[in-house]
Structure formats: structure tokens, C-alpha cells
């Protein structure tokens, strides 16, 4: 189980000892310190009502420097959609929505199903496997690369670079050799696309490379930066969702069996996973004016860490069993795992489709699948993402003996 530490100490995202198992510290914060200061620059909001209200208040809370928990914003050559405010944000989001409106993402379902099928048939018929490394890992990256328009023969190489980058986010990744390789590769891809203006595609690259009437022409660096943002936003988060949900279902065997028997229970099981184990643990906002939040004064210019995970465990909203995984929880989809308001996750319909198809395919093929006896929940490294490190299973229900 994740939630083993009970503590009176308040959660501090800058304290490395709080990161592997943060829930007890977060609970203490919800009780005693809904909003508190953890460094000269950083404040933390821990409750559902406050986090929700801040997501909605884009006047007093700017997205500038989103993700940065240190005194300096992580420098980026171009403002990306999650960091943009006002008209700049609306224009960028509208451009991305051309490829990522919910109806368009739903049309990708057959492609997602094919990617899931490939991952599934690569699994052995029986024996021990790590569902994270051997199954989940491939799916969100492949889906994203198809959506962007990255040529298939290059997927494996691109995934290697992207994984190295995602491992260090939100720390700056521009010093990594993989960062230079990915940026160079994407820039070349943009140039190639633009050199063939008659060869059009229905993908993100096409949309960003070629301006329609009313769109601005984007320099190559901007196109590369917006695609880079998608790589960061879409892969490890969605892997986290699928792996976490599989683990929670298998760990609570009767809930796995209930969903195997009635697949209509799966969507709520996925929402409950997003709530209990929020793949994106937090977002950051910059305070634009002196203000007071839950009795805590915060001067203009300071950073506010929106503790999505803690908000999603808030007893006041979710009851005393808020840290328990329950596939029958009413209104589980009311969580904040995809954020809220004008920056709410643009990829959430796709993440949900991927999770549904990936989990369902395993249930069809291996209804007797079991976690191995030595399986333990270990959170992957890094402060931004919550993803179980591995999901070791006996694929056809055998025991270790
Ligand atoms: C389980 C998987 C995912 C989780 C938990 C997640 C979480 C989030 C959250 C919390 C935000 C809000 C950012 C903010 O308020 O500052 C966000 C925004 C965003 N997400 Fe996701 N995301 C997931 C999957 C995806 C996927 C699959 C894509 C793309 C294919 C994607 C693309 C984006 C983009 C572009 C934004 C920025 C939207 C804006 O600023 O207007 N995400 N995501």
C-alpha cells in the first residue's frame, strides 16, 4: 500500500523524504495547514476547495512558470500552452484543439485499439511479467506519436530520448544530450513537412506547420516547443494512470473480478484511480497580487503549489475513507486529476480511451491474472508524477510455487 506514513509533519514538496510516500504528510496539512509556506518563494495549497478555487481564478493566479518549485522559473525559449495566460493561452489552446477536440480524439479509438493489440500480443501466454515495463510503457508513447505524426520507424529512438527527459521533469532538461537529440529530430521533421506542402496529414505536426486563414505562422522553434510540451504532458502521466489502475484493481482482487464480470464498471474504476493516485501530483501558479488564502497571506510574485493529490484525498469532499480505492465511489469523476478551468487537460479524453482499452484487453485475455506475492507499491522517482514503479503479475493466475 502507498499510504503507510502517519505523521503530524506538514507536507513539504521540497523535502525529498516526503516524496516517496506523501499521503500521511498531506493528511496532516489538510487538518492543520490548508495553505502554508514551505520556502521563501513557495506556498502550498492542500484542500479541495482552495485548489479548485485557484484553478478557476486566472486573474490572481498566473500560469507563468508552471511546474517550477524553485525561486527561478525554468527557462523555456518559447511560451508553451501550460505556461501561457490570457489571449496568448487561448490562441495556442484553440490551435491545439483542432487536433485534440474530444470528438477528434475519440476518432483515434481504432488506432489506439491497434496499438493496444500489438502490446497485448507481445505478452507471453503464461509466466511472470511486469505489466508496466512489458505492456503499459509502450502504449501512451505510441498513441501520442501517432497523434503528432512522428514516423513509426523512429518511435523507439524518440521514446528513448523522451523517457530520459521525462525522468528529470520538472527540473530543467536542456542540459541532457537526449534533449538536444529530440529537439534536433523534431526540427528536422518540421522542415521536412514544410518542404512538402501538398502532402497534408490529419495530425498535430500538419496543424502546427501549416497556418490556416486566421492562424499565425509559427516559427520552427515554436512548433518544436509545442510538440515537446505534448511529449512531456502525455506519456508518463498516462502510463501512470494505466499502471496505477491495474495495480489497485489487482490489489483489491474482488474489485478486479467485479470489473472483469461487468465492464461497465471500468470507467468509474479509472476515475477512482485518477483520484486516489493522481498521475500529475501538482501544478504551480504565480500569485499576481498580495492576497490571503485560507487565512494565509501571500505576497504578489510568490509561487503557489496546487496540491492536486491532497485535494483528491480531502476528507471534507470525499469522506473518511478518502484514501481507499473504491470502484463504486459515487461521483469519482469529480476529482481534480486533470486540473480544471481554462487549462484543464486537453488530452483527458485520449488518456481515458487508452486506459479503458488497455485494461479491458488484459481482462479479456487474462481474467485470472494475479499480482505476484512479492508485489509492493513503490512510487516511481520524481516529484511531478505518481506512477507505480512496476506491476509484477502471474499472467495466467499461477502462483510463484
Ligand atoms: C492521465 C493522464 C494525464 C493527466 C493526469 C494530465 C494532467 C493534466 C493537468 C493536471 C493539466 C492542467 C495544467 C494546469 O492547470 O496548469 C493538464 C494540461 C494539459 N494536458 Fe494533460 N494530463 C494527462 C494526459 C494528457 C495527454 C494524453 C495529453 C495529450 C495528448 C495531454 C496534454 C495536455 C496539455 C496540452 C495541457 C495544457 C492545457 C492548457 O494549458 O490549456 N495531457 N494535464
Range in 213-217, 264-268, 292-296 the model is least confident about: 213-217
- Count CB neighbours of 177 within 10 A: 9
The full DSSP string for 299-319 is -TT-EEEEEHHHHTT-HHHH-
Ligand 1: centre distance to CA 245 (Å): 18
Ligand 1: centre distance to CA 360 (Å): 23
Whole-angstrom distance, CA of residue 322 vs CA of residue 314: 7
**pLDDT for the residue numbered 350:** 97
Please determine, for residue 382, whether its predicted confidence score (pLDDT) is greater than 90.
no
Q: What band does 2 get if pLDDT is binned at 50, 70 and 90?
A: very low
**Contact by Cβ (8 Å): 29, 46:** yes
Closest atom of ligand 1 to 240 CA is 1
List the one residue out of 10, 9, 27, 13 whose CA is nearest residue 284. Answer: 13
Ligand 1 near 345 CB (within 6 A)? yes
Residue whose Cα lies nearest atom 15 of ligand 1: it is 343
Please determine, for residue 250, whether its predicted confidence score (pLDDT) is greater than 60.
yes
**pLDDT for the residue numbered 3:** 41
* Greater model confidence, 177 or 289: 289
Ligand 1 pocket test: which of 95, 227, 347 has the largest number of ligand atoms within 8 Å of its C-beta? 347
Ligand 1 near 25 CB (within 6 A)? no
Q: What band does 394 get if pLDDT is binned at 50, 70 and 90?
A: very high
**For 16-394, which CATH class?**
mainly alpha
Ligand 1 pocket test: which of 85, 87, 344, 345 has the largest number of ligand atoms within 8 Å of its C-beta? 345
**pLDDT for the residue numbered 5:** 53
Please determine, for residue 106, whether its predicted confidence score (pLDDT) is greater than 60.
yes
Q: H/E element holding 59?
A: none
Ligand 1 near 347 CB (within 6 A)? yes
Ligand 1: centre distance to CA 224 (Å): 18
**Contact by Cβ (8 Å): 307, 26:** yes
Q: What is the mean pLDDT of residues 382-388?
A: 92
Report how far apart, in Å, the C-alpha atoms of 356 and of each of 58, 236, 245, 246, 258 are: 32, 17, 10, 11, 15
Closest atom of ligand 1 to 355 CA is 1
Ligand 1 near 146 CB (within 6 A)? no
List the one residue out of 327, 238, 341 whose CA is nearest residue 285. Answer: 341
Ligand 1 near 142 CB (within 6 A)? no
Ligand 1 near 280 CB (within 6 A)? yes
**pLDDT for the residue numbered 75:** 75
Ligand 1 near 52 CB (within 6 A)? no
Q: What is the pLDDT of residues 49-103, one digit of tens each?
A: 999 999 999 999 999 988 788 877 777 778 999 999 999 999 999 999 999 999 9
- Count CB neighbours of 122 within 10 A: 10
Amino acid at each position: 500500500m502507498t499510504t503507510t506514513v502517519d505523521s503530524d509533519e506538514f507536507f513539504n514538496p521540497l523535502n525529498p523524504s516526503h516524496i516517496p510516500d506523501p499521503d500521511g504528510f498531506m493528511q496532516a496539512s489538510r487538518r492543520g495547514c490548508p495553505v502554508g509556506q514551505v520556502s521563501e518563494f513557495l506556498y502550498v495549497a492542500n484542500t479541495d476547495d482552495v485548489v479548485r478555487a485557484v484553478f478557476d481564478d486566472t486573474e490572481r493566479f498566473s500560469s507563468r512558470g508552471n511546474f517550477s518549485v524553485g525561486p527561478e522559473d525554468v527557462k523555456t525559449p518559447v511560451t508553451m500552452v501550460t505556461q501561457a495566460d490570457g489571449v496568448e493561452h487561448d490562441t495556442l489552446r484553440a490551435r491545439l484543439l483542432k487536433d485534440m477536440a474530444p470528438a477528434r480524439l475519440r476518432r483515434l479509438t481504432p488506432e489506439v485499439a491497434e496499438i493496444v493489440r500489438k502490446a497485448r500480443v507481445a505478452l507471453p501466454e503464461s509466466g511472470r511479467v511486469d505489466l508496466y515495463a512489458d505492456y503499459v510503457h509502450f502504449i501512451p508513447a505510441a498513441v501520442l506519436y501517432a497523434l503528432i505524426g512522428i514516423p513509426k520507424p523512429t518511435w523507439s529512438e524518440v521514446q528513448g530520448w523522451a523517457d530520459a527527459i521525462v525522468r528529470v521533469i520538472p527540473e530543467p532538461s536542456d542540459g541532457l544530450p537526449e534533449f538536444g537529440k529530440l529537439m534536433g529530430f523534431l526540427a528536422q521533421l518540421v522542415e521536412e513537412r514544410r518542404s512538402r506542402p501538398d502532402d497534408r496529414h490529419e495530425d498535430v505536426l500538419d496543424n502546427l506547420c501549416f497556418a490556416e486563414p486566421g492562424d499565425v505562422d509559427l516559427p520552427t522553434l515554436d512548433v518544436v516547443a509545442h510538440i515537446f510540451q505534448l511529449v512531456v504532458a502525455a506519456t508518463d502521466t498516462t502510463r501512470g494512470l494505466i499502471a496505477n489502475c491495474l495495480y489497485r484493481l489487482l490489489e483489491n482482487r474482488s474489485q478486479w473480478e467485479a470489473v472483469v464480470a461487468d465492464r461497465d464498471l471500468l470507467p468509474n474504476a479509472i476515475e477512482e484511480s485518477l483520484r486516489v493516485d493522481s498521475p500529475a501530483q501538482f501544478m504551480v501558479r504565480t500569485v499576481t497580487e498580495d492576497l490571503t488564502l485560507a487565512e494565509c497571506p501571500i505576497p504578489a510574485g510568490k509561487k503557489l503549489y496546487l496540491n492536486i493529490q491532497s485535494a483528491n484525498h480531502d476528507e471534507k469532499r470525499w469522506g473518511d475513507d478518502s484514501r481507499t480505492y473504491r470502484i463504486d465511489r459515487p461521483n469519482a469523476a469529480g476529482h481534480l486529476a486533470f486540473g480544471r478551468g481554462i487549462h484543464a487537460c486537453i488530452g483527458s479524453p485520449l488518456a481515458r480511451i487508452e486506459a479503458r482499452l488497455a485494461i479491458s484487453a488484459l481482462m479479456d485475455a487474462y481474467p485470472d491474472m494475479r499480482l505476484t506475492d512479492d508485489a509492493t507499491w513503490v512510487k516511481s522517482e520524481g516529484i511531478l508524477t505518481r506512477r507505480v514503479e512496476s506491476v509484477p503479475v502471474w499472467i495466467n493466475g499461477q502462483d510463484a510455487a
